[in-house]
Amino acid sequence: MTDIEFGKKLGATETGIPGLVVFDLPVHGDSRGWFKENWQREKMTAIGLPDFGPVQNNISFNDAVGTTRGIHAEPWDKWVSVATGRIFGAWVDLREGPSFGAVYTTELDPSKAIFVPRGVGNSYQTLEPDTAYTYLVNDHWSPQASYSFLNLADETVAIDWPIPLSDVEISEKDLAHPRLADVAPIPPRKILVIGSGGQLGRALRAEFGDAAHVEWTTRDDFDLGAADLRSARRWRDYEAIINAAAYTAVDLAETAEGRADAWAANAAGPARLARVAAEYGLTLVHVSSDYVFDGSAEGEYDEEQAFAPLGVYGQSKAAGDVAVSTAPRHYILRTSWVIGDGRNFVRTMAGLAEKGVDPKVVDDQRGRLTFASEIARAVVHLLRGGAPYGTYNVTGAGEARTWAEIAAEVFEITGADRSRVTGVSTQEYFASATGPIAPRPRNSVLSLAKIEATGFAPRDAGQQLREYLSS
């Protein structure tokens, strides 16, 4: 029988397979027996265990030495341990990517456990009679789920089984599994992009390219207000949701109809996504706005600044931020003065320059342009880089300017005389407006220090403006 090592400290050891981590478990015992904390969320996540949210606990009892279970890769994460007895475990990475086919083996007794990420094939052989093999999983078994299998005797991975496979009990099913060359690799979990038809959605398409695991939806085929949002997808197959949809008509939001639409799109919809993300352990990416502030601060706004929105659009965006922040895994990207495909301020100014029109442009609001391509680049950086969850300001870098200064620069870049642009106050600019006008923050300059600390280098907004106009 196993001689359990008592008194080990809780610890984690990386293996050669990404995400596959072995844990030492403290076992306390005396003449009466022993006790251990087999899974303790707070302590174990503190030393690197993913907060994987188990929903089911299974036990496989094996009464004979040499019982061998096949190499199965399932679409969920597993926390594997032994309650009694001892096993030889073998894990093979069956996920798409450079580590496909990588092998790790070790013995487990009650003082050790292993975290097995989705897509890593799991198998074992019992080394003692009456072995109870236990595992927690973060999804319920489903016949619709996609599995992958590998033959226990595959020559490529060449697992050195302690007891020859010819001498042990193996199911016919496990004996029939394919060799590595014939295994269909498990693809990464999906990323769902909501609002893919907008300017940010199009920029995300350019950033992700033709990645097969990214799913694109528009308002027509994904309704944020649908009552069945929880069942709209098999959410355990997803890694992240990117919410690129928003109501951005800031002036129309001041009308009765616009107010309802703004709150539905910017607050209620993100709140529903946050509930889904929290329940299924997804990462929720959401885009915020400088309009959550009133623009009265001196200097740059950082991510901790208290909300003080002036109008309906800003209020609905602030409410959306609060809702999204309830999802444990979230990234809120706060932006300002977004420029992308389609109609926008830069294109309008370039058109006026070409037509010989001399515009009056607001000169008492300051900020930096944020090109949609820059937001898309930041989204991918945060998702792939594993930055701490939370809110990050994302704009172009460089000197802050007024709208009038940006307009003059557009004129100059397009070969027109920049002096044709006349600066006016916000009040003067909207003096002749006949409909409701939303209040604008005068200071929209956002600090970029936090996202820069993650290794992201925002590009200069002026340089991007020149590239945008030249294209």
Which are the catalytic amino acids?
Answer: 72, 135
CA distances 181 to 157, 162, 178, Å, are 11, 24, 8
Residue 238 in tokens: 């997803």
Q: Angle 225-226-232 (CA atoms, 0-180°, nearest 5)?
A: 125
Tell me the sheet residues that pair with 78. Answer: 116, 137
Q: What is the pLDDT of residues 87-110, one digit of tens each?
A: 999 999 999 999 999 999 999 999
For residues 334 and 303, the answer to whether their CB atoms sit within 8 Å is yes
The C-alpha atoms of residue 2 and residue 432 are separated, in whole angstroms, by 86
Residue 411 is predicted with a pLDDT of 97
Q: What is the pLDDT of residues 36-56, one digit of tens each?
A: 999 999 999 999 999 898 999
DSSP state of 311: S
- Is the pLDDT confidence value at 3 over 80? no
Residue 169 is predicted with a pLDDT of 85
Residue ranges of the chain that CATH labels 3.40.50.720 = 190-470
Q: Which H or E run contains 313?
A: helix 312-324
The mean of the pLDDT values for the chain is 94
CA distances 335 to 75, 140, 268, Å, are 35, 39, 20
Tell me which CATH homologous superfamily contains domain 190-470: NAD(P)-binding Rossmann-like Domain (3.40.50.720)
Residue 35 is predicted with a pLDDT of 92
- Is the pLDDT confidence value at 170 over 70? yes
Nearest to 314 by CA among 401, 243, 251, 379: 251
Q: What is the pLDDT of residues 406-456, one digit of tens each?
A: 999 999 999 999 999 999 999 999 998 888 999 999 999 999 999 999 999
Q: What is the 3-state secondary structure (H, E, C) of 343-393?
A: CCHHHHHHHHHHHCCCCEEECCCEECCEEHHHHHHHHHHHHHHCCCCEEEE
Residue 2 is predicted with a pLDDT of 65
CATH code that applies to domain 11-182: 2.60.120.10
To the question of pTM greater than 0.75 for the whole model, the response is: yes
Residue 93 is predicted with a pLDDT of 97
Exposure string of 396-428, with b = 16+ CB inside 10 Å and e = fewer, is bbbebbbbbbbbbbbbbbeebeeebbebbebee
Give the CA radius of gyration of the chain: 28
Q: What is the pLDDT of residues 318-327, one digit of tens each?
A: 999 999 999 9
Residue 6 is predicted with a pLDDT of 83
- Is the pLDDT confidence value at 1 over 60? no
Q: Angle 362-365-369 (CA atoms, 0-180°, nearest 5)?
A: 100
- Is the pLDDT confidence value at 12 over 80? yes
Residue 467 in tokens: 């590239």
Q: Is 433 helix (H, G, I), strand (E, B) or coil?
A: coil
